[in-house]
Amino acid sequence: MSKRIGKEKSKGPRNLQVKMSSINIIESNLRAPIKVKSPKYNFDITVDSKADSANNLVLIKTKIVLRLEDSDNLMGSIIVDYIFQFEDFSGVVEFSNKKAAKINEDIVLWLGTIAVSTSRGILYERFRGTHLGGAILPMIDMSNFKKAPKDQKQ
């Protein structure tokens, strides 16, 4: 798969060779039903990223928590890890030292969108046939996501 990401200052648009090499469901929870006539849901979505320079990998973790609207009642949740492998890491990740990496924000946005969309399908499959069958994660504009302070990341 090729993806054109932004424009580099002097090189113009570029294509990236990337593949999703792994999807791992880390945790999946479904809570007992709460009787509500017409349930409405809130989805709390967290997307984290990190780089593995030795293997040209970007890891994206999505955590989606489903609650009843205007309530703290947890109805279900899922945590999924996605591993994307890049043919060439140049321009994708900048390393200030061996442990500190800064992933290009356009790439995090792009991969995060893929991960959240894939998680939507996983949630749909997990919830189908249950009391949460109607709880479908809406389309998400990842550009509206806010970065959490480092001390609040999970």
> What CATH number is associated with residue 85?
3.10.420.10
Q: Of 41, 3, 43, 38, nearest to 19 (Cα)?
A: 3
153 inside domain: no
Q: Does a structural domain hold residue 92?
A: yes
Domain that holds residue 91: 2-6+16-144
Residue 151 in domain = no
What is the number of domains present in the chain? Answer: 1
Residue 150: inside a domain, yes or no? no
pLDDT value at residue 9: 44
In a domain, residue 25? The reply is yes
Is residue 31 one of the residues assigned to a domain? yes
Q: Is residue 154 part of a domain?
A: no
Phi, psi of 37 (to 5 degrees): -60, -60
In a domain, 152, yes or no: no
Q: What integer pLDDT is reported at residue 152 of this predicted model?
A: 53
Each residue's pLDDT tens digit in the chain (154 positions)? 445 555 444 333 357 788 999 999 999 999 877 777 778 899 999 999 999 888 889 999 999 999 988 888 889 999 999 999 998 887 788 877 766 778 888 899 999 999 999 999 999 999 999 888 889 998 988 887 766 665 554 4
pTM for the structure as a whole: 0.80
